[in-house]
Amino acid sequence: MFDPQTYSQRRQKLAESVGGGVVLLLGHSHSPMNYADNYYPFRQDSTFLYYIGLDQPDLAAVIDTDSGRTTVFGHPPTVDDVIWSGPQRSLNQLAQLTGADLAAPIRSLQRSLDRAKKQVRPVHFFRPCRAATGNWLTALLGPDAEGGVSGELIAAIVAQRLIKEPQEVAEIESALEVTARMHIDAMRLAAPGIVEGVIAGHVESLAIAHGARLAYPCIFTRHGEVLHNHSYHHKLKAGDLVVHDSGASSRRHYASDITRTIPVSGPFNERQRTVYHAVLTALEGAMEQIRPGIRYRDIHLDAARSITCSLQQAGLMKGDLEESVAEGAHGLFFPHGLGHMMGLDVHDMENLGEDRVGYDTDTQRVNQFGLRSLRLGKFLESGHVLTVEPGCYFIEALIDQWQQQKRHERFINYAEVRRWCGLGGVRIEENVVVTPDGHRILGPPIPRSVEDVECACQTELN
């Protein structure tokens, strides 16, 4: 946790933005794997973490925005809890840690909400992402909870959480210290004959050793063209290209999110180098432009332009560059967005609504293939933390579909594209904070240039 003042101040700001009524924040319970007592590693709700910070299951908090008082609700610990789970903090101790005014047993939460409703004061809440928490909300608020969600509350939370405090950026950088080691180790371990899972397992062990977890399931695959590939059963072969997308959480649960593409045998072959260079050029061109006041969708489109230009040089694409980008022909190779906001969640606040985070009235989501997957389109501001992650893939199912539909034939050399199938995919990803006069790449450097990656891949892990 941060110090109690951090949470008090965040709640005070929230109370001012929401303006009247009470805010109900529900924490997560344990999430069962196969039966109630065999649960996944606990992950608190991110908004609860942001405003309350207490990292244990079955808590709730009510912020009275009129009086400014916060009450933490929980189960008073029993001797049985101590026997099974070790020394427990009292509810008052928990309240002190977050700078709350009151602590109360969870059974009094219902009474507290009923009182607010009786006084005809609004109860602000949002729909939780977990069904168990959703059922709890419904039990507390009745049918109100089903449809109604407080738009003011979500807008206030999003506005506040999007601008990172310096201590939050420091947390993300602490996660990146671990993530750098994960990626450098993976480059050194990757070799013909090794099963992907051995390296994926090692990567996860480093996050656990650091006292945290991965921020999202690791991608480590010779089939990088499958964008969300979470299987690790292939044996690596000479000449393979591996997409490795993984990031540790910090101890306070801030995410990091880094991708590198690894040539298994050490040097890239010629086609691999061509594609790698195309993606790297797009990445570096995109990062250079990051500053307050620029629209991220424009940077995305510029990255698309950069990749299209490189693919034209390689004979994979053709025709007028601007028309090609405007019509979205590059979507065949780069079907996802350039990046997304990052913070306590790797896709920050995605549970509050992707469009509420990445778009606004000035910038609305566009429905073109590729562009519709762009999670962040709006103008950047100082304090935003985001990912930059261009990619280029050879996805046979998509190539089949487009070629059959004769889609973008003016811009794509399908015959040549076929020859490159089997290459897999390349993605390179960095995490960046927007500063008042530009940007800063977060975390320690991780090999990224062709030469540095090849060198790291030819070094063995000792």
Binding footprint of a second copy on the chain (CB under 8 A) = 31-41, 43, 45-46, 79, 82-87, 129-132, 134-135, 195, 197-198, 200-202, 204-211, 216-217, 223, 226-233, 335, 344-347, 349-351, 395, 397-398, 401
Residue 132: name the closest of 24, 32, 23 by CA.
Answer: 32
Q: Rounded distance, CA 291 to CA 384, Å?
A: 10
Smallest distance from the beta carbon of 288 to a second copy, in angstroms? Answer: 30
Nearer to a second copy, 302 or 348 (CB): 348
Up-side HSE of residue 313: CA atoms within 13 Å toward CB? 11
Smallest distance from the beta carbon of 372 to a second copy, in angstroms? Answer: 11
Smallest distance from the beta carbon of 211 to a second copy, in angstroms? Answer: 5
Cβ atoms 381, 436 nearer than 8 A: no
Nearer to a second copy, 19 or 41 (CB): 41
Q: What is the DSSP string of 203-244?
A: HHHHHHHTTS-BSS--EEES-TTSTT-----PBP-TT-EEEE
Nearer to a second copy, 80 or 437 (CB): 80
Smallest distance from the beta carbon of 168 to a second copy, in angstroms? Answer: 16
CA 457 to chain centre: 27
Nearer to a second copy, 217 or 422 (CB): 217
Smallest distance from the beta carbon of 69 to a second copy, in angstroms? Answer: 27
Nearer to a second copy, 199 or 453 (CB): 199
Smallest distance from the beta carbon of 188 to a second copy, in angstroms? Answer: 15
Q: Rounded distance, CA 238 to CA 266, Å?
A: 9
Nearer to a second copy, 45 or 302 (CB): 45
Smallest distance from the beta carbon of 120 to a second copy, in angstroms? Answer: 31
Q: 97: helix, coil or strand?
A: helix
Q: Rounded distance, CA 300 to CA 414, Å?
A: 24
Q: Inter-axis angle of helices 131-141 and 109-118, to 10 degrees?
A: 50
Nearer to a second copy, 345 or 430 (CB): 345
Residue 381: name the closest of 176, 175, 158 by CA.
Answer: 158
Q: 395: helix, coil or strand?
A: coil
Length of the chain: 462
